[in-house]
Amino acid sequence: MKLQKNIQTIAKNTLLLEAEAVKAVANYIDEGFEEIVLQILNMKGRLIITGIGKSAIVANKIVATLNSTGTPSIFMHAADAIHGDLGMIQSDDFVLCISKSGNTEEIKVLLPLIKRLGAKVIGMVSNEDCYVAKHADFTIKAIVSAEADPNNLAPTTSTTVQMAVGDALAICLLESRGFTSQDFAKYHPGGALGKQLYLKVDDIYPKNELPIIHEMELVKASILIISKKRLGAAAIVNEQQELVGIFTDGDLRRMLEKHDDFSSLTIGEVMTSNPKTIEKGEYAIRALNEMREFDINQLIVVEGKRVVGFLHISDLINEGIV
């Protein structure tokens, strides 16, 4: 039990140390950081991000975040750069070099080569008095006082801060561009997230049957129609073909509990009035939210007062947005 308590304490201390480091680095966001954002916004080329060791892994993550939020970015490993990958750099590019110490040998070799190609260099460093800070065109200060490990050796706090500062850079660029959820969807077409952003009810409901029954139709005939359409429900309309209700399996059970003889009953007498609907053209995620809010399994898709389709919870499950 004592060991378990120590483990919990170590984990909590690690998280608190890293959280404090991220909080502290906010003090280094200044006019210089703002100038870097503006330079990237107005660049004609691409943003290339490089690093070595754990900083290279962070660089990959920042590249992924930037690409998905509208800033074209490329990862270049610092070690590979001096063995041929420098060819990807063009004179109108910006190269972001991530290095905790700012004195790594590979980075010290790389910086003069980048500048010789005419590209601008942005340094992200944890040490202001370092080679990168002195030779870069711009500097992002990702300052940390110590790593989270007791030996102050393993890149932990420093890489957390680097990623957080990278996120801050990406969000500044995103908001400056007016990047919207629709823009985000363009870069995330796959998976549940992408579908939530672009999938509409129109993409789903035409595949389903469309049981529509006049409100004066007898229950017996109505049940046969519902059974044939296999949706477990039907939209009920009036003389003007306007939606007035819905009849579901639940309505059927309630009817059987109240009536021994339903041979003369019309569907309008036992339907549920004012059913929940979703407008044609709405996003499927909104349909899902309505089903969850009202604890129902289907929605009638309408265009004004006219019934155009049915949407069932199973459709949304099959599409993978649930």
Smallest Cα–Cα separation from 93: which of 48, 141, 154?
48
Asked whether residue 121 is domain-assigned, the answer is: yes
Q: Tell me: do 206 and 122 sit in the same domain.
A: no
Q: Tell me: do 29 and 158 sit in the same domain.
A: yes
Q: Tell me: do 9 and 111 sit in the same domain.
A: yes
Q: Tell me: do 143 and 257 sit in the same domain.
A: no
Rounded distance between C-alpha atoms, residue 166 and residue 176, angstroms: 15
Asked whether residue 184 is domain-assigned, the answer is: no
Tell me the pTM: 0.66
Q: Tell me: do 210 and 273 sit in the same domain.
A: yes
Residues in binding site: 77
Q: Which of 179, 213, 233 is the last residue of a domain?
A: 179
Asked whether residue 195 is domain-assigned, the answer is: no
Q: What range defines the domain where residue 120 resides?
A: 2-179
Asked whether residue 189 is domain-assigned, the answer is: no
The pLDDT profile of the chain, 322 residues, written as one tens digit per residue, is 455 668 888 999 999 999 999 999 999 999 999 999 999 999 999 999 999 999 999 999 999 999 888 898 999 999 888 788 888 999 999 999 999 999 988 899 999 999 999 999 999 999 888 999 999 999 999 999 999 988 988 999 999 999 999 999 999 999 998 877 666 666 655 555 566 666 888 988 898 888 899 999 998 888 888 887 777 788 999 999 999 999 988 888 899 888 888 888 899 999 989 899 999 989 888 888 999 999 888 899 999 889 999 998 888 888 877 6
Q: Tell me: do 165 and 276 sit in the same domain.
A: no
Give the chain's domain count: 2
Q: Residue 251's domain is classified under what CATH number?
A: 3.10.580.10
Q: Tell me: do 169 and 218 sit in the same domain.
A: no
Q: Tell me: do 175 and 210 sit in the same domain.
A: no
Residues in binding site for Zn(2+): 77
Q: Residue 151's domain is classified under what CATH number?
A: 3.40.50.10490
Asked whether residue 214 is domain-assigned, the answer is: yes
Our CA angle for 212, 216, 218, nearest 5°, is 85
Q: Which of 111, 145, 179 is the last residue of a domain?
A: 179
